[in-house]
A and B are shown apart, each in its own frame.
Chain A
Amino acid sequence: MKTVIIALLCGLLFGAGLTYSGMASPAKVLGFLTLGPGWDPSLIFVMGGALAISLPGFWWLRRKQRPWLAESFSSPASNHVDGRLLAGAAVFGLGWGLAGFCPGPALVSIGFFQGAALLFVPAMFAGAVVAGFLRKR
């Protein structure tokens, strides 16, 4: 029960943060990704505001043996930069630059019944399922 409440609270904070920062609107994100006249640096401040909290927080947590409500930290073990990681990041960047949507803002926009997200999110899940098969091969 505590797990469900914490997860819900974290989701609420995340969704509120994305919306309040303006990043839930693709036009705002494209304003950052598109260099030139009228360039909008907001996304840097959003990431800066997030890292200002999470970076020292994660540093402080690094000596903890286990989280409050779970057996262990489920952080990725690998530190190895490989081709799949870089290719995946490049494909993601391409899609992000085309539409201005990444997964968080797209899901928040679904909550507001925004037409673009209603098309984008099913396509995104379809892509993830396809990539899941590719990964298993």
Chain B
Amino acid sequence: MIPALAGGALIGLSALLLYAALGRIAGISGIAFGALDAGSRAWRLPFLAGLMGGGWVAVLLGAPLPFAALPNALSGLAVLTVAGMLVGIGTRLGSGCTSGHGICGLSRLSPRSLAAVAVFMSVGIVTATFLRRVLI
């Protein structure tokens, strides 16, 4: 529980600092997809570089190495690809993901974010539970 709370606090601090200093929302989907546009990379690229480097800093300080191996069955590869496309389409259409809506949006008391979080949490829970408790 301590790593979850402390790691969460670092995320909250990041979101607060980015908004207080640059006035920007720390929504990872928005930052990543926004960086596709050459004109808006100035702060997005350093943020994304930091995001990847931050993982290494945590591991060097003793956090366990994140693990996400490639599935070895073709079906697993197909599910992963479809999941990636759905996350890209969904976060773009819905203007945000777990960080943008879930942390910044809720902190701004945005009704849009509250609705989005309720929907993606429910659909995520139903999908994962059905897939792993019923299908498999």
Contact = CB atoms under 8 A, between A and B. Distances in A.
A87 to B, nearest CB: 6
A57 B23 contact: no
Interface residues of A, number: 113
Contacts, number: 481
* Interface of A, helix, strand, loop or mixed by DSSP: helix
Contacts of B55: 15-16, 18-19, 24, 108-109, 111-112
Counting chain B residues whose Cβ lies within 8 A of the other chain, the interface size class is 35 or more
Contacts of B67: 25, 27, 114
Interface of A: 3-27, 30, 33-36, 42-43, 45-55, 57-59, 61, 64, 66-76, 78-81, 84-112, 114-132, 134-135
17 contacts: A14-B54, A18-B7, A20-B7, A21-B11, A25-B68, A58-B16, A81-B111, A86-B94, A87-B94, A93-B124, A98-B131, A103-B87, A103-B98, A114-B68, A120-B81, A132-B33, A134-B93
